[in-house]
Amino acid sequence: MKKSLIFLSLVALLASCTGVSVEKAKIKTAQDSVSYVLGAEYGSGMSQNLGTFPGGLNAETFLEAFVNGFEGDSADIIVDDLRAFYMEYVQAAEAADKDTTGAVFEPANKDSISYLIGHAEGEGTAMRMESFPGGMNMVAFLDAFVNCFQGDSARIKVENPQMYINDYVMKAQSAEAEKAAQEAEEAAKTDENALAGKAFLEENAKKDGVVTTASGLQYKVIKEGSGTKPSTADRVKVHYHGTLIDGSVFDSSVDRGEPISFAVTGVIPGWTEALQLMSVGSKYTLYIPYDLAYGARSTGSIPAYSALIFEVELLGINE
């Protein structure tokens, strides 16, 4: 009965498949353009990849289903176990490929599997595009996808599509990072942890032996070593004891009884700066403002906007 329902649904679907068309996008902004170019790349690439699928797929059925899935429509064909249905088809196709009699593989469920894969691809692509840096014009993407999948020429052509897309993504990510930093800075003006950290560091800077760098990092030399100083290209071996400004311990290799090794650039900015000031054998106390630590995000038992205190001993370089 289930296969009969699939077949009837498919007959109705194919009866309506006389070519796939979608809304034509109006290209006015950089976002519109990159969305169209990306859609064109996806469409032409997907069309080429269909031929590599075991047993082949029905391109028109795939495209119809892709559009449905991308636009959020429910699938017209439903199976209880899509993976099992898919594997049965693939196994039959692979068996036919090994057949030496010259028989042609003509599976009855080729259109069904084409539809199911197309719908899943459409849903998955839409989800990925929703998180595209700088936003995505979904209409422009789908317009270009359908055109290029069907072999039509793209309305927008660029010399190097991948470079064009990458350039847009880098600029969008930079803008988003700048916006996030501005928002974090504004939030810090009223955040309790940020205000407490700022007050602590202002008072701490007045204490004997405390040095404040241009970045706002503060440190105090407990013991000055005589070895070499690490660079950003090095790995270091250290012992450390980390607390919040209220004295709460959040991490300590000293308490664990085992030092740790890591890249100089693989830690928070305050550590990266401080390590390059230290010679092997040195022990410093670091007072790190939130923007050189974990910023506006909480991590483990460290609340957002927390200033941190570390006692750090540099044991070796590249050991």
Question: Which whole number is the average pLDDT over 289-316?
Answer: 94
Contact 31, 135 (CB under 8 A): yes
pLDDT, greater one: 186 or 103? 186
* pLDDT in the model for residue 186: 83
* pLDDT in the model for residue 255: 96
> 134 exposed, middle or buried (CB, 10 Å; 0-12, 13-18, 19+)?
middle
* pLDDT in the model for residue 76: 81
**Tens digit of pLDDT for each residue in 129-145?**
999 998 999 999 999 99
Q: Identify the CA nearest to 215 among candidates 280, 278, 284, 287.
A: 287
DSSP labels, 256-305: HT--EEEEGGGS-HHHHHHHTTPPTT-EEEEEE-GGGTTTTS-BTTB-TT
pLDDT, greater one: 34 or 9? 34
* pLDDT in the model for residue 99: 57
Helix (H, G, I), strand (E, B) or coil at 51: helix
pLDDT band per the 50, 70, 90 thresholds, residue 89: confident
* pLDDT in the model for residue 107: 61
d(CA 5, CA 74): 16
Instruction: Give residue limits of the domains in the chain.
Output: 2-179, 192-317
Question: Which whole number is the average pLDDT over 72-94?
Answer: 79
* pLDDT in the model for residue 101: 58
What the block records as the tokens of 218 is 């503060």
Model confidence at 317: pLDDT above 70: yes
**Tens digit of pLDDT for each residue in 272-284?**
999 999 999 999 9
What the block records as the tokens of 192 is 């309790």
Contact 305, 191 (CB under 8 A): yes
Q: Identify the CA nearest to 133 among candidates 173, 175, 75, 187.
A: 173
Model confidence at 13: pLDDT above 50: no
d(CA 114, CA 150): 16
Question: Which whole number is the average pLDDT over 277-301?
Answer: 95
* pLDDT in the model for residue 112: 85
Kind of pairing between the strands at 308-317 and 283-288: antiparallel
Model confidence at 8: pLDDT above 50: no
Question: Which whole number is the average pLDDT over 298-310?
Answer: 94
d(CA 42, CA 40): 5
* pLDDT in the model for residue 198: 95
Model confidence at 201: pLDDT above 80: yes
pLDDT band per the 50, 70, 90 thresholds, residue 56: confident
Model confidence at 316: pLDDT above 60: yes
H helices of 51-109, in order, are 59-70, 82-98
Contacts of 26 (CB under 8 A, 6+ apart): 32
Question: Which whole number is the average pLDDT over 258-284?
Answer: 97
User: 32-36, 84-88, 292-296, 306-310: which has the minimum mean pLDDT?
Assistant: 84-88
Contact 315, 280 (CB under 8 A): yes
CB neighbours of residue 231 within 10 Å: 11
Please report where in the chains the tokens 């950003």 appear, as a residue: 232
Model confidence at 4: pLDDT above 60: no
CATH of 192-317, one of 1.10.287.130, 3.30.360.10, 3.10.50.40, 3.40.50.300: 3.10.50.40
Catalytic residues: 240, 250-251, 268, 294, 310
* pLDDT in the model for residue 113: 84
**Tens digit of pLDDT for each residue in 95-108?**
766 655 555 455 65
pTM: 0.58
What percent of the chain is modeled with pLDDT above 90?
A: 64
Best-predicted range by mean pLDDT among 19-23, 97-101, 172-176, 211-215? 211-215
Q: Identify the CA nearest to 150 among candidates 227, 80, 271, 67.
A: 67
